[in-house]
Amino acid sequence: MTSSKPNRPRMRAARRLSQAAKVGLAPGALIHLGERKTEQAAISLMEYGESEIIEHQFTSLAESRTYQPILPVLWLNVHGLHEPEVMAEIGRRFKLHPLVLEDILNTNQRPKIDDYGDYLFIVARFFEIDGDNNQIGSDQVSLVLGPNFVLSFQERPSGRFDPVRERLRQDRGQIRKLGADYLAYSLLDAIVDRYFTILENIGERTEELEDMMLDRPRPGSLQTVHQLKRETLSLRRSIWPLREVINSLTRADDRFFRPETRPYLRDIYDHTVHAIESLEANRDVIAGMLDIYLSAVSNRVNQEVRALTVVAIIFMPATLISGIFGMNFKVMPPLDWPNGFLIALGLMAAVATTLSLVFWRRRWLE
């Protein structure tokens, strides 16, 4: 597994610089705080009713200013949050509070929900798996839910909302009939469903690492354990607040979510609780891996020391016998025997064989 260690200091430095850019500015200042993940912002619009749907891609702000929607429900999606002028135009068009625009541009937000009277502002996080090094990264997703519109803001194109778009195009299910609140539910559901894919990936990597540690720990195992701990911590910081967000939506009044949509919100809440339980189970296993690693290394060292000890004990009598015969005494009877040398070698072999049999019966040679 490729390590991300060289990139972490750079990411921390970029985060410190982005946060420092906001110091001293007035609340609501439109400054992008975070990593730029796309070259330019892309704005797509879907407006629909029960029997019709219209899609449009905006290539300029001037084009967006002259566009007038004609269908009951509107979904505006923005990829790329580094162009404050785009956010300012959207804020003017939908009468968004400056603090909402500021929070959208600050991509280090924790999941939350704010009620601004005429609309709800919801922040969540998407998690993706980097196919090159199998590491997990996250992007902020901001949703604004109004009486007849939904605004979604993403740091970069992810394709995770494409199934929702296809359901709108093909008029599958109740997505066109239940209005903007059901659309907001569908987007939240797509976010929560992605957590299970991430948790499954972490679970598989955890099981493989655990089996490898029990068999034979490798030098990079400890670094992999710490990487998994960081990833699960990042997930925990997103899933736990999101559970409270969805719980607040299920208990809110009927201004934004109608009674027909509330059972679907409760279903998302159940999925979130399930994801949290899976996450905590993985965290417990990962937390115990350090003990497994230390125990496996200690056991390996003990086995190697025992093997060296057995070898030393087997050859120790031979060393003793050869040392006795090597003493500088003028009178030593065995030195005058014709077969003294062979007798000494036989004695050494007999003692070594006896000790080897003793160690074998005690299972010290396995």
**Predicted structure pTM score:** 0.75
Are 177 and 311 part of one and the same domain?
no
| DSSP code string of 309-366 | HHHHHHHHHHHHHHHHHTS--S--HHHHSTTHHHHHHHHHHHHHHHHHHHHHHTT---
Under 8 Å between Cβ of 45 and 74:
yes
One domain for residues 132 and 32: yes
Q: How many domains does the chain have?
A: 2
- Res. 324 pLDDT band, cuts 50 70 90: low
Residues 85-143 have pLDDT tens digits of 888 888 888 999 999 998 998 888 889 999 998 999 999 998 888 766 677 888 899 99
Question: Both ends of the chain: CA-CA distance in Å?
Answer: 33
pLDDT of 33 strictly over 90: no
Q: pLDDT confidence of 266, banded at 50, 70, 90? A: very high
CA dihedral 77→145→246→153, nearest 10 degrees, is: 20
Token pair of 100 as six digits: 């909402």
Residues 349 and 263 in one domain: no
DSSP state letters, 224-293: HHHHHHHHHHHHHHHHHHHHHHHHHHHHS-TTTS-TTTHHHHHHHHHHHHHHHHHHHHHHHHHHHHHHHH
Choose the final residue of a domain: 296, 314, 345. 296
Which CATH number characterizes residue 354's domain?
1.20.58.340
Domain enclosing residue 313, as ranges: 305-361
**Residue 4, pLDDT above cutoff 50:** no
Over the stretch 328-354, which tens digit does the pLDDT of each residue have? 656 666 666 677 667 677 777 887 788
The rounded percent of the chain whose pLDDT value lies above 70 is: 84
- Cα–Cα distance between 46 and 53 in angstroms, integer? 7
Residue 170 has pLDDT above 90, yes or no: no
pLDDT bracket for residue 149 (50, 70, 90):
very high
Domain match, 277 and 332 both: no
Beta strands 42-48 and 112-115, pairing class: unpaired
Q: Is the pLDDT of residue 24 over 60?
A: no
Is residue 252 predicted with pLDDT exceeding 80? no
Tell whether the model's pLDDT for residue 183 goes beyond 90.
yes
Of 296, 313, 338, which residue sits at a domain end? 296
- Residue 332 sits in the same domain as residue 202: no
325 and 209 share a domain? no
User: Is pLDDT of 174 > 90?
Assistant: no
Please report whether residue 44 resides in a domain: yes
Point out the domain boundary residue: 267, 296, 325: 296
Q: Which residue carries 């790329």 as its tokens?
A: 80
